[in-house]
Amino acid sequence: MKPDLFQAPDYYNLDELLTEEHKLVRDAAREWVKRDVSPIIEDYAQRAEFPKQIIKGLADIGAFGPYIPEEYGGAGLDQISYGLIMQEIERGDSGVRSTASVQSSLVMYPIWKYGNEEQRQKYLPKLASGEWIGSFGLTEPDHGSNPGGMTTNFKDMGDHYLLNGAKMWISNSPFCQIAVVWAKNEEGRIHGLIVERGMEGFSTPETHNKWSLRASATGELIFDNVKVPKENLLPNKSGLGAPLGCLDSARFGIAWGAIGAAMDCYDTALRYSKERIQFGKPIGQFQLQQKKLAEMITEITKAQLLAWRLGVMRENGTATSAQISMAKRNNVDMALKIARDARQMLGGMGISGEYSIMRHMMNLESVVTYEGTHDIHLLITGFDVTGLNAFK
């Protein structure tokens, strides 16, 4: 792969909206990605393998629990810092950002928010340091966009719960030490349970043959009469709103992360357009190529403003779930379109692993699907503005 020459676009001087701490956190993540991710990631993606050696680096830049309080091992940062870390990581690869998103927003967040003090003390420091990796089991083979229909269930056996069912498309599952699993009790109410590797009847087969997120490990979570200790139930929130609350946090991070992937594609195409000569001129001198680049930087700038404003609202506690949906949908769509245009700008070289663009493009096909598909987020916005619910 070519050396990482990335220069971040900042067309509207958005750095002026950031604090010194934001810039320090962002720059540390940016340097780490250049040093430890860019040189190896193409090779791991081609081999369809997650580079486990980067787990410690992710922990060191604060990517595991950026906003979780320091008393639990988190970085104690604000929401914009969290967003900036996700942006920088996804600039390297969406699959690496997936690992960080799941760990922070889908495993640490529910334990912090819905768990008791004993659970926080037991799990959060190990997750923050990367000693343990977690996964989040909501999606099932027959229930993806409609998780409320889930059939994974648990029964109260007196001194423990008995868990049965299966989850699929689960990031980090093949090597997770723990899984936060959403299942229905005998009354049909959804609860979160912490399932640990080694519990009898719990297995995590890997999903192969993916053309997307190849540097991220995806798999199933299978529960065959798993005895889960009663102290592993998350006591402080139940119902579908509990997992959906975790998704709010993860979708917020993705809204920022997608900007990173888009910036990398734009920056690569811009550089290439000045170097590649056809018909005796750099291709960047042709109007058709300038149109692509001008539209890319316009869309990136709009997405940056959306993410920043959402970060402010998220930090002061006023961001609604529907506002988060809008940013996730818009920014991922923006990144995917930029990846497709940037790939065309590189001609034949665009399909080569010498450049990051094709990998970003394929990764973004997962990002536009997970954490709520493009269609589902559109319907959430539609519901919010009309008051009419398309899901019922």
Query: Which CB atom, from 293 or from 368, has the smaller least distance to ligand FAD?
Result: 368
**3-class DSSP state for residue 125?**
helix
Which residue in 359, 354, 360 sits closest to 3, CA to CA? 354
Handedness of CA 45, 48, 52, 55 (dihedral sign): positive
Give the nearer residue to ligand FAD in terms of CB position, either 344 or 369.
369
Residues in region 307-366 near ligand FAD by CB under 6 A: 366
Identify the CA nearest to 372 among candidates 268, 248, 275: 248
Binds 39: which of ligand FAD, ligand TGC, none (CB < 5-8 Å by kind): none
Running DSSP on this structure, what letter comes out for residue 213? S
Closest C-alpha among 327, 331, 336, 340 to residue 366: 336
- Residues ≥6 apart with Cβ < 8 Å to 59: 128, 129, 130
Query: Is residue 207 involved in binding ligand TGC (CB under 6 A)?
Result: no
Tell whether residue 38 is a contact of ligand FAD (CB under 6 A): no
Residue 112 makes contact with ligand FAD by CB under 6 A: no
Residue 137 binds which entry of ligand TGC, ligand FAD, none, CB below 5-8 Å type-dependent? ligand FAD
Between 360 and 389, how does the x/- string for binding to ligand TGC read (CB under 6 A)? ----------xxx---x---x---------
Active site residue 16: no
What's the DSSP call for residue 9? Answer: -
Helix (H) or strand (E) segment spanning residue 237: none
Give the nearer residue to ligand FAD in terms of CB position, either 29 or 213: 213
Cα distances (Å, whole numbers) of residue 134 to 72, 85, 181, 317? 16, 19, 10, 26
Q: How many residues bind ligand TGC (CB under 6 A)?
A: 26
Report in angstroms the alpha-carbon separations of 247 from 100, 179, 227, 331, 390.
14, 15, 27, 16, 20
Q: Are 41 and 79 in contact (CB under 8 A)?
A: no
Question: Residues 198-237: x/- map of binding to ligand FAD (CB under 6 A)?
Answer: ---------------x----x-------------------
31 vs 267: CA distance, rounded Å: 16
Amino acid at residue number 39: P
Closest CB to ligand TGC among residues 163, 190: 190
Under the binding rule (CB under 6 A), the answer on residue 11 touching ligand TGC is: no
137 binds ligand FAD (CB under 6 A): yes
Strands (E), the chain: 134-137, 153-156, 160-171, 178-184, 190-196, 202-203, 218-229, 277-278, 281-282
For ligand TGC, the closer of residues 38 and 94 by Cβ is: 94
Site size toward ligand FAD, by CB under 6 A: 22
- When asked if residue 147 is in the footprint of ligand TGC (CB under 6 A), the reply is yes
- Site track 56-95 with ligand FAD (rule: CB under 6 A), x = hit: ----------------------------------------
Closest by CA to 261, choosing from 113, 27, 95, is 95
Q: Using the rule CB under 6 A, is 102 a contact of ligand TGC?
A: yes
**String of contacts with ligand FAD for each residue 138-167, x by CB under 6 A:** xx----xx----------------------
Nearest approach in angstroms of CB 97 to ligand TGC is: 7
Other beta carbons within 10 Å of 269:
26
36, 93, 248, 341: which one contacts ligand TGC (CB under 6 A)? 248
For residue 134, state whether it binds ligand TGC (rule: CB under 6 A): no
Residue 391 makes contact with ligand TGC by CB under 6 A: yes
Residue 265 binds which entry of ligand TGC, ligand FAD, none, CB below 5-8 Å type-dependent: none
Distances (CA, A) of 221 to 52, 71, 103, 135, 259: 20, 31, 16, 9, 31
In the list 71, 131, 231, 375, the residue contacting ligand FAD (rule: CB under 6 A) is: 375
Pairing of β 178-184 and β 134-137: parallel
Residue 340: what residue type? R
Residue 139 in the binding site for ligand TGC (CB under 6 A): yes
Active-site residues: which are they? Answer: 371
The residues that touch ligand TGC, with contacts defined as CB under 6 A, are 98, 101-102, 136, 138-139, 145-148, 171, 239-241, 244-245, 247-248, 250, 321, 370-372, 376, 380, 391
The residues that touch ligand FAD, with contacts defined as CB under 6 A, are 102, 135-139, 144-145, 169-171, 213, 218, 366, 369-371, 373, 375-376, 379, 391
